[in-house]
Amino acid sequence: MEIDIAGVGDGEYAFAFDVPASAINLDESFLGNVKVEGTLRKVSSQFFLTSTITRTYVRECDRCLAEIRVEGSIPLTVYYRTEFGDRRGLEDEDNVVTLEPDQESIVLDDEVRDAILLDLPAKMLCREECKGLCPGCGADLNNDACRCETPAIDPRWEKLAEMLKKNGDQE
């Protein structure tokens, strides 16, 4: 994903990329292609990139291990400046890339991959009220009943329990 900036004048330029997820070093949990569409606006020695990333990935639910497929888009904006460029009003250092004075192209791969990875949720649930798996029998409690067997009572203890019950009745 490379945008040629050699000799371009001030203005707004549209771009679109469509590459396999593996081409930007995303693992196989990312399916199909990653698409990036947007515009690059040049103002003197600065470039403002505004874009939308579309990607698909699968993750397991943290509780029940069901496969969750996530599709859709996330935004990506990047500000490119040359080393001595104007930095007026630039408080947020996120997504600021410094270009070499003689740089001829902008490569988006790292910014796109970082945006995709940063967007991944720390906790993944198939649904908020997922009941998860039983730690004893492994049953998916969303769909199945727990199969853990109630421990069989030792017959000797059964007798004792009866005696205790009788004593209790006499009181």
Instruction: Tell me whether residue 63 or residue 113 sits nearer to Zn ion (CB atom).
Output: 63
The C-alpha atoms of residue 29 and residue 131 are separated, in whole angstroms, by 24
Asked whether position 64 contacts Zn ion by CB under 5 A, the answer is yes
* Side chain identity, residue 97: V
Q: Which of residues 13-52 bind Zn ion (CB under 5 A)?
A: none
For residue 84, the minimal CB distance to Zn ion (Å) is 53
Instruction: Tell me whether residue 1 or residue 126 sits nearer to Zn ion (CB atom).
Output: 126
Pinpoint the alpha helices (H) of 14-139: 109-118
Instruction: Tell me whether residue 65 or residue 164 sits nearer to Zn ion (CB atom).
Output: 65
Asked whether position 133 contacts Zn ion by CB under 5 A, the answer is no
SS3 state of residue 159: helix
Instruction: Tell me whether residue 68 or residue 74 sits nearer to Zn ion (CB atom).
Output: 68
Adjacent-strand bridge partners of 75: 52
* Side chain identity, residue 53: I
Asked whether position 68 contacts Zn ion by CB under 5 A, the answer is no
The tokens of 88 are what? 């007026």
The C-alpha atoms of residue 46 and residue 7 are separated, in whole angstroms, by 13
H or E segment and range at residue 76? strand 73-82
Q: x/- site string to Zn ion, residues 134 to 153, per CB under 5 A?
A: x-xx--------x-x-----
Binding positions for Zn ion, rule: CB under 5 A: 61, 63-64, 66, 126, 130, 134, 136-137, 146, 148
